[in-house]
Chain A
Amino acid sequence: MRETIQILDCHSGQAVAAEIFDEITLEHFIETQAIWRPVVLDAVRALAKSPNQTTLIPRHFHWDWTRKEAELKMLALKFFGLSCDGRLQGIMKVDTVVRSCRLPEQQGKPLVYIDYIETAPWNIKQLMEPLGKRQQYRGVGSRLFEAAVLQSEEEDFKGRLGLHSLPGAETFYIKECGMTPVGRDPHKQNLLWCEFTPEQARRYLAGD
C-alpha cells in the first residue's frame, strides 16, 4: 500500500504531497533511532531544565528497533510510515489481533489497536520550541491516525479503534478526535484506554 496524501508545510503554509505506506523496513527503524533520537534528546535536555516539563515528555524514544525487526514479519502487526521530502516524517505500529473492544456496546469485537505512533521530532511544536526552531510539517500524526481508522475499515472492523493514551494526549483523543474514554488500565501503567465506535470513526474521517 502506498498512497499520496497531503500534509502542511509550516514554512510555506502550503499543503504539500507526502506518501503514506506500509512497506516498512529495518532501515526505517534505524532512521528513527539514528536521525530522530539525537534531535529528541536535545529537546528533552532543553525541556528538562524546567522540572515541570518532564511530565510532558513521551517515553517513546526508548522504542528499541532491534526488537522490532522480527515484528515486521508478524501478520497481526502492521507498520505505517509517512515520508515527505525524501525523509521519514512519522511511523506507526498497529495490532489487529491481540486487543478487542471494551466498550459495553461493542465489547469483544475486533478492533485496530495503535501500539506505537511517533512523528519526527522536527514536526512536533513542543519539541522544537525549546530548541528555538520552527516545526517543519503539520498534520503528520493526524494522517497516521487516519490511516489506522481506514485500516480498521479495511479489516472490516468498521472503524473500531483502541489505544492507551498518554496523560497529556487524553484531551486530544477524547475532545478533538471524539474517542470514548473507557477506563484506566492497571496492566498498562494505568493509562487511559480510549476507543472508537464505528459512528465515532465515521465522524472523525468526515470531520463532522
Chain B
Amino acid sequence: MKFNTDRKWLERRAEQEDRHFISVGGLISTLDPTCQAEIVNMPTVETTKTAFVRLLQLTRRERRLSSEKLAEIADVDLAELLKIEMDETFTPGLRTVHQLAVALNLPVKKMMVLAGLLQIKDPHLQQASVRFAARSEPVGSVSPEEHAALEEYVKFLNER
C-alpha cells in the first residue's frame, strides 16, 4: 500500500477530521431512551470485583485445584493469581482474566466485566454479583449453600 507522505495532505485531512465524528453505523440517539439512560447511569465496576474474586476462588475450590495448579493449567503467573485472590483492589491483566475464564470454563466476557476490565450495560449484573458475594466465603471447603450459590450465579452469567 502506498500511503500519502505529504505532511500538508495529512494536516489538511486531520483538520477536516477534527470537525466531525469519523464513524459509521449509527448514533446513540438511535438507541431507545432506556438504553441511553442505562449507559449514562451505568454503575461503577468496583462493586463487582468482590464477586469476581469469590467466583474465582469458589470455582477453583470446587474443582479441587490449588492456586498453583490453576496457575499452571491456565498458564498465568502464580504471583498475579495470588494477588487477585488476596487483594480485591488489584486489577488483573486482560490476558490473565481471559486465560482463567477459559481454564475454569466461565464466560470470558462476563469475567472481564466483573474484573473491571470491561463495561456493559446490565443493571441486574451488579445486584446478582453482590448477592453472590454475600452468600460465599473466601476460604474453607465449599458448603452445600455455597455450591448452590455458585451454580445459580454461573447460570445467571451464562444466560445473560
Contacts and interface: CB of A to CB of B under 8 A. Distances in A.
A44 B40 contact: yes
Nearest to A33: B118
A58 B25 contact: yes
Nearest to A170: B20
A54 B119 contact: no
Interface in B9-51: 9-31, 36, 39-40, 42
B2 to A, nearest CB: 7
A45 B94 contact: no
B25 A116 contact: yes
B10 A58 contact: no
Could you tell me the dominant secondary structure of chain A's interface residues? helix
Contacts of B29: 54-55, 57
- Interface magnitude class on chain B: 35 or more
Interface in A164-180: 164-169, 171-172, 176-177
Interface residues of A, number: 66
Contacts of B3: 3, 5, 20, 143, 146-147, 150
B125 interface: no
Could you tell me the dominant secondary structure of chain B's interface residues? helix
B25 A66 contact: no
A140 B95 CA distance: 26
Contacts of A167: 27
B109 interface: yes
Nearest to B118: A33
A37 B27 contact: no
A184 B94 CA distance: 40
Contacts of A3: 1, 3
Contacts of A56: 21, 27
Contacts of B23: 58, 60, 117-118, 166, 169
Interface of B: 1-31, 36, 39-40, 42, 94-95, 98, 108-109, 112, 117-119
- Shortest Cβ-Cβ A-B pairs, 8 listed: A141-B22, A139-B14, A142-B13, A138-B14, A172-B20, A176-B16, A58-B23, A57-B28
Given A30-B94, A142-B14, 7 more contacts: A5-B3, A7-B14, A27-B95, A58-B25, A126-B21, A191-B25, A206-B4
